[in-house]
Amino acid sequence: MSAQNSEEKSGDTPSTTDNTETPSSSGSTTENPGLSFSMEQLRRYLAEKLSLRDEDSSGERQKVKILDNVNLDGIVEHIKKNNCRNVITMAGAGISTSAGIPDFRSPGTGLYDNLQKYNLPHPQAIFELDFFHENPKPFFVLAKELYPGSFKPTVCHYFIKMLAEKELLLRHYTQNIDTLERVAGIPDDKIVEAHGTFYTGHCLGCHHKYTLDWMKERIFKDEIPICEKCPGVVKPDIVFFGENLPDKFHNLIGQDFPKCDLLIVLGSSLVVQPFASLIDRVEPKVPRLLINREKAGHQTGILSLLGMSSGMDFDSKDNTRDVFWGGDCDTGCQLLADKLGWGDELREMVKKEHELIDQKNKNTATPPKSADEKQSDTKSKDKPKEKEKGEGTEKEKQSEKTDQ
């Protein structure tokens, strides 16, 4: 899901000079103090502002070395050596893959096939407001499958929780709507759900607020939640296409990312804006780690030619801060924890937390009936009631009198 791109202007802009020359209409050059730097001046300005190069004794500019080793070991060294206390994690759908979250976009899956009877023009239509107003039923079919409590957090979720418990986590930004971060126990004030949450909902008509439990009760009865104040449909606070991202997202990115001393991106393809652009908000000397099945967020565009960060720079010979680890997020996070000396602690946390979830579900859920129990119920319904002693139909009683 995405929202409209809301770009913010930087507070640092190059000032103009009286020596700026621009072509005049006659082809000659004239001084124009109202225009910005030339390309070379702008390049030098940006390089200085980004502080990526220091001058040596000869006046030559040298690349600043950020990580001694541009790999996972280098990230571990950075965490230990620099006493990181402001780690930011950014997460996409890849961190929930092993939790078994159903894929409603892929043909052949049960949920996808179930949704097709609603004649979706395309799977993403579920998250389009126009389609939702016309037919909200498919969204609530999906919502029932995704609702909090149906799935267990993954190793990756608990690694993020461990960062919080060790007071290393500044903030966790997530694109996911499965709320598994909350289930894992990551503190609410540490979580920014960029694409919204199931935990609250609002009426599309009068905007009255509703709780998770109120909505869940109706959704699990296969009902469309209708407002108690007006006839409007109550929609969970999930960000649909074209909707603005939550205020919390916009309020915190400006204060969080300048403080960041390590950025860890987990299971995101880094294509959905404005979430994807957050990787460029950290300071140029801050290491960035991507744990994902494939590389993402590559540095592209004219800004990279100007010396301005515009994505990950994994393959450049000048790269000393961007690290890619290829594989699934659980394996990557467990490996990182092992290298940090937290491996056994993480394994024990996952085991303990999953046992608690199993016990909670066992205590609250009604056990499903076995096949034998269902068959017994069916036979009971079909079998005629046995007559109590002394009872009989009027016809039977009359027959008895005649026989006498």
User: Which residues participate in catalysis according to the annotation?
Assistant: 195
84 annotated among ligand-binding-site residues? no
Does 182 count as an annotated binding residue?
A: no
- Inter-residue long-range contacts of 97-102, CB under 8 Å, 24+ positions, other chains counted: 97/154, 97/267, 97/328, 97/329, 98/154, 98/155, 98/328, 98/329, 98/330, 99/151, 99/152, 99/153, 99/154, 99/178, 99/180, 100/151, 101/146, 101/151, 101/178, 102/145, 102/146
- Is residue 329 annotated as involved in ligand binding? yes
Q: Per the omega criterion (within 30 degrees of 0), is the bond before 274 cis?
A: yes
Asked if residue 53 belongs to a known ligand binding site, the reply is no
Would the annotation count 293 as a binding residue?
A: yes
Helix axes 329-340, 343-364, angle to 10 degrees: 130
Report whether 279 belongs to an annotated binding site. Answer: no
Q: Check whether 321 is labelled as a binding-site residue.
A: no
203 is in an annotated binding site: yes
Entry field: residues in the chain: 404
292 annotated as a binding-site residue: yes
Identify the sign of the CA torsion 115, 119, 124, 129: negative
φ, ψ (nearest 5 deg) of residue 151:
-135, 155
Q: Which phi and psi angles does 199 have, rounded to 5°?
A: -70, -20
- The answer on whether 288 is annotated among ligand-binding residues is no
The reply, when asked if residue 83 is annotated as ligand binding, is no
Instruction: List the beta bridge partners of residue 217.
Output: none
Task: Determine the distance from the C-alpha atom of residue 386 to the mean position of all C-alpha atoms in its chain, rounded to a whole number.
Answer: 59
Check the annotation: does 103 bind a ligand. Answer: yes
The answer to the question of whether 104 is labelled as a binding residue is yes
Binding residues for Zn(2+): 203, 206, 227, 230
Binding residues: 93-97, 103-105, 175-178, 203, 206, 227, 230, 292-294, 329
Binding residues for NAD(+): 93-97, 103-105, 175-178, 292-294, 329
